[in-house]
Structures are given as structure tokens and as C-alpha cells.
Structure 1
Amino acid sequence: MRNVDVVRTALGNTMRSKTRTFLTVIAIVIGAFTLTLTSGLGAGINKYVDSMVAGFGQTNQIYVMPGMDASQQMPTNGEPQEYDPEEAGATGEFGMQMLTEDDIATIEGINGVTDVEPIVFVTADYLETADGDQFVLQSLGFPSDAAGMEMEAGTTPDPQAMELTVPETWLSAFGTEDPNEVLGETVTIGLKDLAQQEQAVEAEIVGVSQQAISGVGGSPMPSSALNQELNDVQTSGLDVEQPKNYVQAVATVENIDANETAIKQALSDEGLMGLTLEDQLGVLTGIIDTVTWVLNGFALIALLAASFGIVNTLLMSVQERTREIGLMKALGMGRGKVFGLFSTEAVMLGVMGSVIGVGLGVLLGVIGNAALVNGPLSGVAGLSLFAVDPLSIVLIVALILVIAFLAGTMPAARAAKKDPIEALRYE
């Protein structure tokens, strides 16, 4: 019997008992469907994270923040600790640790750092449109995040100009749905100085941003010059010189691949913490991968249950076809061909289950991704929840076929060992 005939015969045999075959295939479909959906979700979200990293275009930068040493941590026994003014760092609003000018100088002196941009923290009260309408400003974005924004219209702010962007969710404040209509409009940002007197700073809108899943682009984004001007106004009003403190600093690094580890260690030695963009997004990627593996574990359990279904189906088939096996062996079919025939039947069950399950998983993933991205999550720029990864699909199908083959080996071996005379006498 040729290999083609073995495959054709195996396919015909699997369809002899349609109900039994259907129930076995359904179990395989569930496992294949779950594996396809979870791997596609992981690939889609990781693809989005990768696009965020690429979109920032700042892979040669390290974001520096104050570190927390043992003296700043609460003791486990609850006892108070002695205060050391030399060890205590600068603090901002809500007790948040801040960088000082000495910290900025320290960062600038580290080998491999070519430029340092300190970022000041600004708390504004309102934004006033040209029509005189005022709207609460709950937060302002950091200028260092500007390069990571997806723009609906216009451009990111010029660091040296008094410019800002507004999120597309703010278009209603300007009485329009067209983002291009707000470009070039002058707005006023109101905030209080140290004497609690209301001050105002004017700026020009140069862009309308889309909000990313990280939150970037979801708040008005000032340029570096505007952010510094707002900070200067915020810290004015009293005849007392205020120390300059910074919420973070962005260090540009020369040859970051070679210098990243050394610079991070140098920062740590100075009580500072340095994170690249990949470090910050790596936490999100790790969570996604963990959830994906957990869900894949449930899918593998379903496939394990399906393998027992294959064993049961083929054992019953061997039992029912005992005389047929005896006849085939009496006509000259060797043990290897009999084993191959029943193994092929197991593989055919795997093929049917994997094709249907993978197809349903891809179909649901693509449709669900389009419905969510263009519907409830349309405000998140560039979001991708599901991606078709050909390599993953091939590996899923291959895994299912291997499981099906292994599950079919015991019934196939039992069929191959049958004595033809005894099999022909079987009633």
C-alpha cells in the first residue's frame, strides 16, 4: 500500500464513526483555539510595545530619577530613624523625592553621558481658550515624553519655543471636532505662585495628540521652554531664593549598548536610579508574557485531555476492526504499514482539530481586535491587541500533530502486534 493510499484510507476510517470523531476533534479544537488566541494576544500587545519604543526614537537616553537608599526606607520594626540633613534629598509636592542641581552636575560628569536635560515639575490650575473659557488642568505631560506621541494633527512642540500640544479629547473645549482648527490658537495657562497669586502664561497650540496605552499624549504637553517658564512663575512671588529641584533628568548616552551598564552602576553609586525606555516598558512586557504563559498552560491541559480522547477513539477502532486488521495482515500488510495506518488516523484527527481551532482563533482574534481598536479603545493611538504570527501558528499546529501522533502510538502498536489468524477468528 502506497503512502498516498495509507493517508486516503486513514481519512476514510476516521469518518466511519462521525460522532466519536467529532467529539475527539472538538477537544483538540478547544486547545488549538486557546493557544492561537493567547499567543496572538501576546504577539499583538508586544508588537504594540515595540512600536512604542520605536516611536520614541530615544533609545540612546536614560531617564534618571532619585533612588531610595536604606536610610530613606521605613524600618521593619517601626522604630524612628535619626535624621541626617546630608543624606536627605530634596522633596517636592506630596513628599516626592527630587533631583538637585548637584545631582544634575553628577550626572553630567559620568563618562559616556553627552547631554543632560533636567525636567521640572509644574502644577497648573487651568487652561483658558481664546474665547475666554477656562478648563481644569489636572496634569501636564513631561517634555521628555514629547517624542513618543502619536499626532492626530500638527507637530510636537519646539523645545525652545512657547508651544504645547493638546490631546484630541480636548477638542470639545474648543468647540470643534477637527484637530486642524485648533492649530495656531493661543491659549493661557493659569497657575499660582508661592504667594498664592494667580499668574498666567501664554502659549501656542502646535499639535493635537493621540493617547497611547502608557498615558503619553493624554494630557496637554508643554515644550521644554514653556515647562521651564511655568516652573519659574510657580516658584516666584516671595523674596526668598528657591532651590532648583527636578522631578527627573534625561541623559543622552554615547554608544548606549556599550555604556548602559556602567552608567547605571555609576548612577546607583550616587544614590540615583537610571532606566531606559526598554526598562520601563519591560515591566509591561513581562506581565503580558506571564499572563500568556498561564493561559497557554490551560490550553495545553485541554490538549492533554484531547490526547486521551484520541487514545480512546483509536483503541475502540482497533477493537471494532480486529478482523479487518487480520485480513490486511493475511494479504501481506506488514506490522509497519498497520502501525503507520493507525498512526496516520491519529494524525488526521490532529490535523482536523488544529486547522479548525487555529482558524477560529485567528478569525476571532482579527475580528475582536478590529472591533475593540476601532471602537471602545479607538482613543489609544496605534494599539494592537492581536497579531497573526505565522511562526507561532506553525508551531501550534506542529505541537498538536506531535501530541496526536504520540497519543496514537499505543493503539497503533496494539493493532500492529495482532496475530492475523487470531484476528480473523475474532467475533
Structure 2
Amino acid sequence: MKTLDIVRRAGRNLRRAKLRTLLTSVAIAVGGFAITASLMAGEGARQYIDRIISSNINPQGLMIGKASEAFTGRSNKPLKEYKPDTGTHRGAEVELLTLDDIAKLKARSDLKDVTPLYQLNPKYLTFSTKSDKKYTGEVAMRDSGIRVETVAGRMMSKGTQLGDNEVIIPESYLEELGISADKIIGSKLTLTVEQAPQKVSEEDIAKAYRQRGEAGVRELTSSKLKHKELTIVAVSKKSPEQATNTPNTYISPETAKELTEFATLGTPQYQKYITASATVADGKKPEDVKKALKDELNLSAVTSKDIQELLFTFVNLLQWIVFGFGVLALVVSIFGIVNTQYISVLERTQQIGLMKALGASRRDIARLFRYEAAWVGFLGGALGVLGAWGIGELCNPMISGALNLGEHSLLIFVPISGLVIVVGLMLVAIIAGFLPSRKAAKLDPIEALRTE
């Protein structure tokens, strides 16, 4: 018998037992659905991570610290040797970079734009448009290597510097301030930072008392405030590619340095930094510079590729968990295929005997049942893949809205992956149908024709 004839006959045989074929195919479809859904979610998550990294991290950039704890906030050692140049980061004690470390980094030919990461904790913020109230908010240093989407004011593309007396505020502030984005441009924002009381000698206290009495002593021993007035030049837009959900007020590195050094004066954290950012010089690879920093200065560094791999690890783990449930469903469906085909062999024993009597070979009989199994695998795979694609199309708008992904989708269907899944399920079904097809091929035609 020709292969095409066997394929057609296999299809006709399955149509005669529509309900049984459908139920067996649905069992396979469950596994195909889970596998397709896991691949769609994994692809969407990876594309989302790629967009976040490309929008928020310079591909040629490095984050540099004394040790890996500066990036993870975790220590592998329960007991560590005390060192004076340490600070707390995410609940862990980490070694801090000093001015000497920064100077060494700036002196390297394979790095440029070395800037310490200033930790800003303003006491409060005030706005000239609503000067009767004080606010608290997150303040961060503007990285000129990252593009900031704006709804009003200056365009903050990559490479655009922020002036020392300029500031960018997030769009989410406008509702509280009761003003539109266009109207707030050009108004003033004042950052207020607090300096802890300084250590003073008895001589200084006595001198202050002689000159100004108790008021002079209180002024000398109390905390001090610094007010930095800045002009609002742009309002940043909340973007789906934004790395954090916390809206930040952005200031220039020089302003960040000025305010941080005022706030930390007289403390162990003065002119010490958890990390520093730098850009790899032209013609150099971030991975090579990272290795050189470890070998030559014993400093740890993180590249954009490291961050991508870390995030991909979590995505892959979740994807494999869902994938595993799909495989488990397929294993169960294999028994369904075997059972269905064994029943089919018993029901069609006389038909098999007649086919053999008319000249069909054992190989033709075996192929007939294997092709029937392949048809079941194809139907199940197609149902599962199309079902996952359809539900993904329906759910994507809701998921994007709930997660604030904008126009992007979390469940992304890749046609080639769907095709591979369908073909894979057909192969699984053929393997599952091996034993029933072997039994059918070995039937004696005379005995088969006598079967009632």
C-alpha cells in the first residue's frame, strides 16, 4: 500500500470513532496547551526584560563595588572580619568604596565617566507651586546614559546632561500638586537635607556660650539643614520599560554630591560609596574590563549581561515548572493513546485479517496504526497550540493593563515553536502507538477472520 493511501485510511478510521478520537486528542491537547503557554510566557518575559535592560542600563556600563554584596545585599559568610570602611546595604554589611578607589578607577584607560553612586535621603521637598506643604519622595542621580521619557519640558535622550540647578520630577506627582505638566515646567523645587549634629570640643562649646549664650550652644550642637533650590525642566513619564515602580526625582551628579556630602559630614559614610558607575572605553568589552578590575584592584563589577542572565534565571525556572506540568499531562495522555489503540485493534480484528488476506503486509498494518496515532497527536497538538494562542490573544490586553505593560504583551506566540510542539506531539503519539501497532501487525489472518 502507498503511504498516502495509508494516511487517508487512517484518517477515515478515526472519523468512524469521532468521540473516542476527540477525547484522546483533548488529553494530548492539555499537555500541548501547557507547554505552549509556558513558551509564550517565557518569550514575553524575556522580551520584556530585554526592553527594561536596554531602556535603563547602558550596555557598555559597569556597576563597580568592593564585593558582590554591594549588588546582592547578601553575604555568604555568617561571621566576617570587621573593617572600618563598611556600611549597611539592604540589611547586609558591605565594604564601601573610598575616594582612593574612585581615583584609581578614574585613572584607568579602559574606563570613563566614573561616578560614585550617591545615596540621597532628603528630609523633605517643597514646590513653589504649593509652598504651604512639605512632601517626601525618592531622589536619584540622573544617569545621562539612559533615556528618560518625558511628557513635558526638555527631551532627556541618551547623552543629555542635567544642569546642576535643574531637576526632573515624575508625572505621578502632578495629581497631588494639582497642576498640569506644562504649567509646572520652570517652577521651583527645593530639596532639604539634614546634617547630623557634629562632634564638638568643650572649648568650642565654651566659646559659643561666651559669644551667644545658650542659643549659640544649641545652634552648635543641633542638626543643620541645607536647602537646594532647583528648576523643574522636565516631567518624566511612567514607562512600561521603567526598571522600578518607584517614581524618582532626578538631579545632576554634582548636585547629588553636594547634598550627600553635606548630609554625611562627620559620619563614617562621608565620601564613601556603596557602588560607582562607569562606562567601558571604546574598543573594550565589559566582560574583559570586569575581569581586569577583579584581578588588578580586587573590585567586583556587574555588567548589563550579568543582570540579564540573573533575571532570565527566574524566568526560566518558572517556565520549566509550567513546562513540567505539560509533560506530566503528556505522560498521562500516552496511556490514553495506548489504551485507545488496543481497543481499536480488538474491535477491528476481522478487518485486519481481511486486509492481510487481500495482500496487506505486516508493515502496512503497523504503519496504519502508527499513522492513526500520528493523526491523534496532530489533532491534540493543533488543539493545544491554537487554544493557547487564542487564550493568549484574549488575555493579553487584560494582563498588559494589570501589569502596566502599555502596548506590549506578556504572552507572545512564536509560530515556529508551535510547529515544533505539534510535530513533537505527533512523534510522542507514534511512539505511544508502537505496541498496539505491533500487536495488530502480528495477528494471524486466519485466526483474525474467525474472530467474532
The answer, yes or no, to whether TM exceeds 0.5 is: yes
Larger radius of gyration: 2
Mapped partners of 1:113, 1:141: distance in 2: 23
1:363 and 2:397 correspond: no
TM-score, normalised relative to structure 1: 0.86
In structure 2, C-alpha distance between the alignment counterparts of 1:319 and 1:242, rounded to whole Å: 83
Secondary structure of 2:375's aligned partner: helix
Aligned to 2:167: 164
Equivalent residue for 1:231? Answer: 260
Q: From 199, 204, 208, give the equivalent of 2:236.
A: 208
Pairing of 1:138-157 with structure 2 (within 5 A): 138-144=137-143, 147=146, 149-154=148-153, 155-156=155-156
Name the structure 2 match of 1:421.
446
Rounded Cα–Cα distance in structure 2 between residues aligned with 1:38 and 1:22? 24
2:423: which partner in 1?
398
> Aligned residue for 1:185?
187
Residues 119 and 400 of structure 1: is their aligned pair in 2 closer, same or farther, counting only changes over 3 Å? Answer: same
Structure 2 residue 123 is the aligned partner of structure 1 residue 125: yes
Alignment of 1:286-297 (within 5 A): 286-297=313-324
The alpha carbon displacement at 1:102 in A equals 0.6
Q: Which residue of 1 aligns with 2:84?
A: 88
Q: Which runs of 5+ in 1 are unaligned?
A: none
| Equivalent pair of 1:191/1:234 in contact (CA under 8 Å) | yes
CA distance in 1, matches of 2:434, 2:426: 12
Q: Aligned runs of 1:401-412 on 2, under 5 Å?
A: 401-412=426-437
Task: State the distance in 2 between where 1:286 and 1:409 align.
Answer: 38
- Partners of 1:74 and 1:318 in 2: how far apart? 62
Question: 2:124 touches 2:135 (CA, 8 Å); kept in 1?
Answer: yes
SS of the residue corresponding to residue 246 of structure 1 reads coil
What is the CA–CA distance in structure 1 between the aligned matches of 2:444 and 2:2, rounded to whole Å? 23
Letter in 2 for 1:43: E
Distance across 2 between alignment mates of 1:116 and 1:242: 19
DSSP 3-state at the match of 1:49: helix
- Name the amino acid aligned to 1:41: A
- Trace 1:186-335 onto structure 2 (pairs within 5 A): 186-195=188-197, 196-203=223-230, 204-210=232-238, 212=241, 214-215=243-244, 218-235=247-264, 243-254=270-281, 258=285, 260-267=287-294, 270-335=297-362
- SS of 1:210's equivalent in the other structure is coil
Structure-2 separation of matches of 1:401 and 1:97: 57
- 1:341-377 alpha-carbon deviations (Å, 9 max, x no partner): 2111111111111111111111222322221212x22
Q: Distance in 1 between matches of 2:349 and 2:131?
A: 91
Larger mean Cα displacement after TM superposition, 4-13 or 57-66: 4-13
Q: Which residue of 1 aligns with 2:412?
A: 387
Q: Is the 8 A contact 1:149 1:217 kept in 2?
A: no
1:175 alignment partner in structure 2: 178
**CA-CA distance at 1:407 after TM superposition:** 0.9
Asked if the contact 1:119–1:144 (Cα under 8 Å) also holds between the matched residues in 2, the reply is: no
Q: Which runs of 5+ in 2 are unaligned?
A: 198-222
AA in 2 matched with 1:137: T
Corresponding residue SS for 1:388:
coil
Q: Structure 1 counterpart of 2:252, which letter?
A: S
Could you give the per-residue CA deviations for residues 394-413 of structure 1, whole angstroms, max 9, x where no partner exists?
22112111101111122122
Q: Letter of the 2:138 partner, please give it.
A: S
The letter for the 1-side match of 2:106 is: E
Q: Deviations 1:44-88 (Å, cap 9, x if unpaired)?
A: 01111111222246111111123169xx97965x6x95x5xxx53
Q: CA deviation at 1:121?
A: 1.5
SS of aligned partner of 1:189: strand
Corresponding position: 1:59 with 2:63: no
**Equivalents in 2 of 1:166, 1:109: separation in Å?**
34
Alpha carbons 2:61, 2:286 under 8 Å: kept = no
* Residue type at the aligned position of 2:426: L
Say if 1:103 and 1:334 are closer, same or farther in 2 by CA, change over 3 A: same
CA contact (8 A) 1:152 1:208 kept: yes
One-letter identity of the residue aligned with 2:195 = D
**Alpha-carbon deviation of 1:424?**
1.1
**Following the alignment from structure 2 to structure 1, what is the Cα–Cα distance between the partners of residues 76 and 425?**
52
Count of equivalent residues: 414
Matches of 2:435 and 2:310, distance apart in 1:
45
Contact preservation (8 Å) 1:143, 1:227: no
Alpha-carbon separation, structure 1, partners of 2:45 and 2:68: 32
Normalising by structure 2, we get a TM-score of 0.81
CA deviation profile, 1:116-153 (whole Å, cap 9, x unmatched): 12221111122222222545334223423871645455
Q: Matched residues in 1 for 2:25 and 2:393: separation?
A: 23
